[in-house]
Amino acid sequence: DTGVSQDPRHKITKRGQNVTFRCDPISEHNRLYWYRQTLGQGPEFLTYFQNEAQLEKSRLLSDRFSAERPKGSFSTLEIQRTEQGDSAMYLCASGPRNPKGSGYEQYFGPGTRLTVT
């Protein structure tokens, strides 16, 4: 399978704990995005990387959230001191370096469902 992969698929944690999620984009995709999706809503943009550079962060990304993409390949999203309001599906997407058309395509992974108890 050459699609976007995410690990873990499910995470249950207690309030106050730290969690880290990993995303492996489609090979050679230089754009990588993180979104958050709550039940019954569309995905909300969190942050965007082009290669290893983090170029944009949403106001949703509080100082408890940090994302990295150290070598321009996989990315991690860490949430510190989790709160119940952090419970959501965290989605990763990637986009191609030499895209067809306008180059805005994003391909999503299966997501990591976080439950904070």
Partner 1 sequence: GENVEQHPSTLSVQEGDSAVIKCTYSDSASNYFPWYKQELGKGPQLIIDIRSNVGEKKDQRIAVTLNKTAKHFSLHITETQPEDSAVYFCARGTSGTYKYIFGTGTRLKVLA
Structure tokens at 52: 């290893």
Please report the sign of the dihedral spanned by the C-alpha atoms of residue 56, residue 102, residue 95, residue 28. negative
Query: Which residues of the shown chain bind partner 1 in the complex (CB under 8 A)?
Result: 4, 31, 33, 35, 40-45, 48, 56, 58, 91, 95, 101-102, 104-111
Closest distance between partner 1 and the C-beta of residue 109, in Å? 5
Concatenating the DSSP letter of every residue in 3-48 gives: S-EEE-SEEEE-TT--EEEEEEPSTT--EEEEEEE-TTS--EEEEE
Closest distance between partner 1 and the C-beta of residue 58, in Å? 8
Closest distance between partner 1 and the C-beta of residue 81, in Å? 26
Q: Which is nearer to partner 1, 45 or 74 (CB)?
A: 45
Q: Which is nearer to partner 1, 42 or 70 (CB)?
A: 42
What region does 73 belong to: left with phi over 0, alpha with psi -120 to 50, or beta? alpha
Q: Which is nearer to partner 1, 47 or 82 (CB)?
A: 47
Closest distance between partner 1 and the C-beta of residue 85, in Å? 19
